[in-house]
Amino acid sequence: MMEPLRAFRILWACLLGVVMMISLLNSSVLAETGWSRFTPATYDTSVYPLTHLEQPGTRLIYISAAGSDTAAELYFWDGSRIVDSSGSPTGAGGVAYGTDPMDPTGPIKPFRRWPYVAPRRNALEDIGTPWDGTSYLAPGEHRAATRYEFPDWWLFKRGDTFDLHQDYLSFARETNPSVSTISAGTLAVSGGKSDTQCQVVGAWGSLGLSRPRFINATGSSFLSRWSDPQPKYITWLSLHFDGRGSDSDRRGGFSFLGQNDEAKGIRFEDCWIDATTGMVIQNTSGWFTLFRCVVTDSYRETHSPHVQGIYYYGNRDSRLRIEESILMRNGFGHGDPMTVWPPSGQQYYDIFNRNLYLSGECENMASGLFSSISMMGASGDQFRPGMRIEKNFFYQGYVQMGAHGGYPSGDGPTGTILDNVLLRFKGSGTDDNRGHPGWGFGLTSGAFGVEMARNIVSSAQHEADQYGLTLEALGWYCYSHTYHHATRSNNVHHNIFDTGSAWRAVNVSDGVDNDSLACSGWSYPGITGNTISQNCLVNARGIEWENRPHESAAGMSNNTVFSNNRLYDSRSQAAAAEGWPFPDRTLKTYMTSLGEVVTTSDGFLEFFMQARQQRKGYWRSRYASRALVNYFRKGFGMTQLPPSTPVVTAPLHLLISE
Digit-coded pLDDT (tens) for 134-179: 888 899 999 899 999 999 999 999 999 999 999 999 999 999 999 9
Asked whether residue 375 carries a pLDDT value surpassing 90, the answer given is yes
Residues 6+ apart with CB under 8 A from 26: none
What pLDDT is stored for residue 123 in this prediction? 87
Asked whether residue 104 carries a pLDDT value surpassing 70, the answer given is yes
In this predicted model, which residue has the larger pLDDT, 362 or 123? 123
Looking at residue 120, the DSSP 8-state letter turns out to be P
Least confident among 139-153, 505-519, 538-552: 505-519
Alpha-carbon torsion angle 226, 227, 230, 233, nearest 10: 0
Kind and range of the H or E run holding 199: strand 199-204
What pLDDT is stored for residue 179 in this prediction? 94
Asked whether residue 444 carries a pLDDT value surpassing 80, the answer given is yes
Mean of the per-residue pLDDT values for the chain?
84
CA angle 161, 163, 164 (to 5 degrees): 125
d(CA 364, CA 448): 14
Q: Exposed, middle or buried: residue 13 (CB in 10 Å: 0-12, 13-18, 19+)? A: exposed
d(CA 482, CA 484): 7
- Specify whether the CB–CB gap between 422 and 438 falls below 8 A: no
d(CA 164, CA 458): 44
d(CA 26, CA 20): 10
Beta strands in 513-655 (DSSP E): 527-528, 531-533, 536-538, 545-547, 561-563, 566-568
Q: Give, in order, the Cα–Cα distances in Å from 184 to each of 122, 134, 172.
A: 15, 8, 11
pLDDT tier at 616, thresholds 50, 70, 90: very high
d(CA 512, CA 525): 10
What pLDDT is stored for residue 649 in this prediction? 40
Asked whether residue 556 carries a pLDDT value surpassing 90, the answer given is no
pLDDT tier at 364, thresholds 50, 70, 90: confident
Asked whether residue 389 carries a pLDDT value surpassing 80, the answer given is yes
CA 445 to chain centre: 25
- Specify whether the CB–CB gap between 530 and 487 falls below 8 A: yes
User: What is the average pLDDT across 501-527?
Assistant: 58
Helix, strand or coil for residue 33?
A: coil
In this predicted model, which residue has the larger pLDDT, 363 or 394? 394
d(CA 262, CA 285): 8
What pLDDT is stored for residue 352 in this prediction? 78
Q: Exposed, middle or buried: residue 339 (CB in 10 Å: 0-12, 13-18, 19+)? A: exposed
Cis peptide before 151 (omega within 30 of 0): no
What pLDDT is stored for residue 523 in this prediction? 62
pLDDT tier at 470, thresholds 50, 70, 90: confident
- Specify whether the CB–CB gap between 246 and 218 falls below 8 A: no
User: What is the average pLDDT across 373-401?
Assistant: 90
- Give the residue from 30, 34, 43 showing the smallest Cα distance to 653: 34
User: What is the average pLDDT across 475-489?
Assistant: 72
What pLDDT is stored for residue 515 in this prediction? 46
Least confident among 23-32, 370-379, 401-410, 617-626: 23-32
pLDDT tier at 584, thresholds 50, 70, 90: very high
User: What is the average pLDDT across 423-441?
Assistant: 67
Query: For 149-232, where are the alpha helices, taking DSSP H only?
Result: 164-173
Least confident among 322-331, 356-365, 526-535: 356-365
Asked whether residue 502 carries a pLDDT value surpassing 70, the answer given is no
Highest mean pLDDT of the ranges 17-26, 274-283, 396-405: 274-283
The proportion of the chain whose per-residue pLDDT surpasses 90, expressed as a percent, equals 57
Neighbours of 130 (CB within 10 A): 10
Query: For 388-530, where are the alpha helices, taking DSSP H only?
Result: none
pLDDT tens string 172-195: 999 999 999 888 899 999 999 998
pLDDT tens string 24-72: 333 233 335 789 999 999 999 999 999 999 999 999 999 999 999 999 9
pLDDT tier at 628, thresholds 50, 70, 90: very high
- Specify whether the CB–CB gap between 272 and 611 falls below 8 A: no
d(CA 520, CA 86): 74
d(CA 449, CA 198): 37
User: What is the average pLDDT across 431-444?
Assistant: 73
d(CA 294, CA 326): 5
Helix, strand or coil for residue 4?
A: helix
- Specify whether the CB–CB gap between 32 and 616 falls below 8 A: yes
Highest mean pLDDT of the ranges 264-268, 297-301, 379-383: 264-268
Cis peptide before 342 (omega within 30 of 0): yes
Alpha-carbon torsion angle 638, 643, 648, 652, nearest 10: 170
What pLDDT is stored for residue 97 in this prediction? 98
- Specify whether the CB–CB gap between 421 and 394 falls below 8 A: yes
pLDDT tens string 199-234: 999 999 999 999 999 999 988 899 999 988 999 999
Helix, strand or coil for residue 592?
A: helix
What pLDDT is stored for residue 363 in this prediction? 76
In this predicted model, which residue has the larger pLDDT, 560 or 6? 560
Kindly tell me the sign of the dihedral angle through the C-alpha atoms of 615, 620, 622, 624: positive
Buried b / exposed e over 194-205, threshold 16 CB at 10 Å, is bbebbbbbbbbb
Asked whether residue 325 carries a pLDDT value surpassing 70, the answer given is yes
What pLDDT is stored for residue 433 in this prediction? 55
